[in-house]
Amino acid sequence: MDFNVKKLASDAGVFFTRAVQYTEEKLGQAEKTELDAHLENLIARADCTKNWTEKIFRQTEVLLQPNPIDQTGARIEEFFYEKLDKKIPSRITNAELLGQYMQDAAKDFGPGSPYGSTLITVGEYQKRLGGSEREFLQTSAINFLTPLRNFLEGDWKTISRERRLLENRRLDLDVCKARLKKAKLAEAKAALWSEEVDKAEHELRVAQTEFDRQAEVTRLLLEGISSTHVNHLRCLHEFVEAQAAYYAQCHRHMQDLQKELSSANGDTFPNAFAVNASTSGVSAGPSPLSTGTQPGPSSPSRPPNPPNALESNTLKIEEVKPPATGTRKAKVLYDYDAADTSELSLLADELITVYTVPGMDPDWLIGERGNQKGKVPVTYLELLS
């Protein structure tokens, strides 16, 4: 018990002298031992690394899990599993849940109805998107988030502990320097060799040795930041690869879904042509498909030809080129006589290729039949899937 009390008193005394030294340094009343420039640069670089790694880590968490505080308590659940050192169970993604809701709704609406069958198809692809998302989240968490977390919670804590110890050694060194200085002043006044000077010099040598040793340990740890950067660079490449693979899978799923809906529903899926047109650089106007009509007893009225500069002057039919994607076959519903050389005459029941160009009126399309080409009204056509 006596030993513990003495150690406690000694530790309290050391803490007090360090606090006094630190306060006097801040007030400019005591000299401070400066670290060498190389070590200072390493410390600054380490602080920069820690700060940005922390920001990147937190924002990546937000990117991968944008709504952590939801009805599932996902972030809280992860915390407890980490503390218990157990594997976090795989959770259903929002897309998978949406897909399940769609398929459950189709059962009530009737899986044989157009809406019900479409819900089943879209729900299946939503589940596929959710599966791709879950795989991406797991890969990114393992290959990118985990190394960043290990640095912040492991290496950085070790560095911080050794830096605090270095700062304490520096304060002890400066305290010893101040004591030796006071002892020498007292010796000079007394004009005799004082035992206090010997004691102060011995304490200074010990403090200097401990400070130098701790500075070397800290320097070696800080120089390891370069290896950390190399490791994080590799992890960053893996994160980008996982992200690219994820978006590529999503793109393929959506293309397959569009094709399946288009082939299954035909004209009941009016956005297919608009999507194709938008991906080929076509202007974002009303979709020509939305104005398509079914054959009737009489031909529709002629759509107005707007007198804008693009339609009347600058649009030269012979210079119009079909887009790489976005062309489509159309069946002519009624005979149509061209009003001028920019239009194409049509015969009922023939098949032509149609497409649109940027700036074109949505009631008109460019039609091609062999070597002939010209504007045709949308209302005279049945757009085929």
Class of domain 271-383: mainly beta
For the chain, residues with pLDDT lower than 70 are: 1-11, 13, 66-90, 189-194, 265-299, 301-302, 304-315, 385
Instruction: Please determine whether the domains at 31-251 and 271-383 fall in the same fold group of CATH.
Output: no
Return d(Cα 150, Cα 162) in angstroms, integer: 18
What is the structure's pLDDT at 11? 66
Give how far Cα 382 sits from Cα of 185, 209, 349, 365, Å.
107, 91, 10, 12
* Cβ neighbour number for residue 60 with a 10 Å cutoff: 16
Residue labelled with tokens 């530790």: 11
Q: Where are the alpha helices (DSSP H) in the chain?
A: 2-26, 37-64, 74-83, 94-109, 114-140, 146-150, 156-190, 195-223, 225-265, 271-279, 309
Of 1.10.1270.20, 1.10.3720.10, 1.20.1270.60, 2.40.50.140, the CATH number of 31-251 is 1.20.1270.60
Residue 72's pLDDT is what?
A: 44
Domain ranges of the chain: 1-25, 31-251, 271-383
pLDDT at 163: 93
Q: What is the pLDDT of residue 139?
A: 92
What pTM was computed for the model? Answer: 0.60
- Give the Cα separation of 316 and 306 in Å (integer): 15
What confidence score (pLDDT) does residue 281 get? 42
pLDDT given for residue 22 in this prediction: 79
pLDDT at 226: 94
